[in-house]
Copies of this chain bind each other. A is one copy, B any other.
Amino acid sequence: MIVDFLADYYHNIENYSVLSQVDPGYLQKNLPSYAPFGSESIEIILQDIKRHIIPGITHWQSPNFFAFFPSSGSTAGFMGEMLSTGLNTVGFNWLSSPAATELETMVMDWLGQELRLPKEFLFTGHGGGVIDRMLNLIGRDNIGKLVVYGSDQTHCAVQKAAHIAGFDPNNFRAIKTSRSSSFSLLPQSLLKTIQKDLHSGLVPCYLCATVGTTSTTAIDPVGALCHVAKNYGMWIHVDAAYAGSACICPEFRHLIDGVEDADSFSLNAHKWFLTNLDCCCLWVKDPNSLIKSLSTNPSYLHNNASESKQVVDYKDWQITLSRRFRALKVWLVLRSYGISNLRNFLRSHVEMAKSFEELVKLDKRFEIVVPRNLAMVCFRVIPSVAHGGDANEINRKLLDSMNESGRVYMSHAMVDGMFIIRCAIGATLTQQEHVIIAWKIVQEHANTILNKTAISA
In the complex, whether A178 has a CB less than 8 A from a CB of chain B is no
Cβ–Cβ < 8 Å partners of A99 in chain B? 20, 22, 27, 52-57
Interface stretch of the complex, out of A138-146, A182-190, A224-232: A138-146
B88 touches A300 (CB 8 A): no
Q: Which residues of B contact A215 (CB under 8 A)?
A: 299-300
- Give Cα A58 to B26, complex, Å: 43
| CB neighbours of A308 from chain B (8 A) | 24
> Does A206 sit within 8 A of B, measured CB to CB?
no
Interface size class of A (residues with CB under 8 A): 35 or more
A159 to B45, CA, bound (A): 41
Contact across chains for B39 and A335 when beta carbons are under 8 A apart: yes
CA distance in complex: A45, B340 (Å): 18
A64 interface contact, C-beta 8 A:
no
Interface string of A296-322 (1 = CB under 8 A from B): 111110100100101100000001111
Q: How many copies does the complex hold?
A: 2
| A66 is an interface residue with CB less than 8 A from chain B | no
Q: Which 8 A-B pairs have the closest CB atoms?
A: A166-B166, A56-B99, A299-B414, A27-B102, A156-B296, A6-B86, A73-B88, A35-B110
Binding site for B on A (CB under 8 A): 2-3, 5-6, 9, 19-20, 22, 24-28, 31, 33-40, 42, 44-45, 49, 52-61, 68, 71, 73, 77-79, 81-83, 85-90, 94-100, 102-103, 105-106, 109-111, 113-114, 124, 140-141, 143-144, 155-157, 159-161, 163-168, 214-215, 268, 270, 276-278, 293-294, 296-300, 302, 305, 308, 310-311, 319-322, 324, 328, 331-332, 334-341, 411-414, 422
Instruction: Offer 21 A-B interface pairs, CB within 8 angstroms, sorted by A.
Output: A9-B86, A20-B97, A24-B98, A27-B98, A28-B105, A35-B335, A36-B335, A40-B338, A57-B99, A58-B89, A60-B87, A60-B90, A61-B88, A68-B300, A73-B85, A89-B277, A156-B321, A166-B166, A214-B298, A215-B299, A278-B322
